[in-house]
Amino acid sequence: MKPTAGIIGIGHYLPEKIITNEDLVAQGLDTSDDWIQSRTGIRERRIISEEENTSTLALEAARKAIQSAGIDTSTIGLVVVATSTSDYGGFPSVACQVQHALGLPNIPAFDISAACTGFNYALTTAQQYIENNMVKTALVIGADALSKIMDWTDRNTCILFGDGAGAVVLSQTEKSKGIHYAELFSDGSQAEILKIDNERIEMEGRAVFKVAVKNVVPSISEAILKAGLKNEDIDFLIPHQANIRIIKQMSDRLGLSDDKVVTNLEKYGNTSAASIPIALSEAFEKKRISSGDTLVLVGFGAGFTWGINILEWEL
């Protein structure tokens, strides 16, 4: 019988620098705080300093997750980082930088590029390593510093994104706990609606909204059924923090009340691959979620990609 993979430690890290909606207006952006909040739900976002980079964020979140797990770093057998903003724009991977900084042995370490769905892809990948007995413990990180590739004069994008990182330690756990269902998706025909071109983010906002609602919401419902659950069995939906209107569409169609949906985008904006683990980590830190809760993690983003993980929380 295959072992089950479960989260045994979690942590997140956010830069200190805050840019509010008012700051963007003061810098000359043709918008307003009311306009941004009404359309996105975002009030402010965190931005890295000149001394920080994606690997900086990833490493700090990783250290907190390892401390939370109470394990020795020597037990980690795999590092997977979901990111679209590696320090060097390609290679070496952020995962290798984290592996070295933590003093880990010569274990596999690699990045996954699935944009805002990256954490779901990374978590599912590490899950397979554990369930197939290739490793017993894995470090999974979602980290992005999208401010590095932001056109701060583009109202369509610069109001949305922020920087941050979240990490979990995944390990073999008892069968009744852990990740019970995972599924990943992609539709490359929609690749042009959200992309990095000439080292800057370009997005067709309306198209992203329509594709997300059309594809992601039905997939969540199907995933819940495939996992042998009903909507009322879900304790918390933890979605990618892209836009409050998309999140509202999801929760309404699933019949979930606001108190069952974890959001923090008003403080951090869209932190891409980091948004789900940051939201999950904050919910745990604030004791909002507890052992035995059934959680649905939903990511969606460029590619177009989307992914779902359903798990029983055990911390």
The candidate with the shortest Cα–Cα distance to 269, out of 144, 177, 148, is 144
Among the options 12, 53, 96, 116, which is catalytic?
116
| One domain, residues 165 and 188 | no
Question: How high is the pLDDT of residue 2?
Answer: 83
CATH number at residue 64: 3.40.47.10
Among the options 96, 120, 180, 240, which is catalytic?
240
| One domain, residues 190 and 305 | yes
Instruction: From 147, 173, 199, give the residue that closes a domain.
Output: 173
Q: In this predicted model, what pLDDT tens digit does every residue of 40-93 receive, in sequence order? A: 999 999 999 999 999 999 999 999 999 999 999 999 999 999 999 999 988 999
CA distance linking residue 54 with residue 202, whole number of Å: 20
The candidate with the shortest Cα–Cα distance to 10, out of 248, 243, 311, is 311
The upper half-sphere exposure of residue 167, i.e. CA atoms within 13 Å in the direction of its Cβ, equals 32
Q: How many CB atoms lie within 10 A of CB 99?
A: 24
Full-model pTM: 0.96
Note down the domain range covering 63: 4-173
Q: In this predicted model, what pLDDT tens digit does every residue of 250-276 receive, in sequence order? A: 999 999 999 999 999 999 999 999 999
Q: Is 180 a catalytic residue?
A: no
| One domain, residues 227 and 103 | no
Q: Is 116 a catalytic residue?
A: yes
Among the options 53, 120, 270, 309, which is catalytic?
270
Instruction: From 139, 173, 207, give the residue that closes a domain.
Output: 173
Q: Is 100 a catalytic residue?
A: no
The upper half-sphere exposure of residue 193, i.e. CA atoms within 13 Å in the direction of its Cβ, equals 19
| One domain, residues 203 and 151 | no
Domain count, the chain: 2
Burial class from Cβ neighbours inside 10 Å (0-12, 13-18, 19+) for residue 302 reads buried
| One domain, residues 43 and 103 | yes
Phi–psi pair at 152, nearest 5 degrees: -75, 5
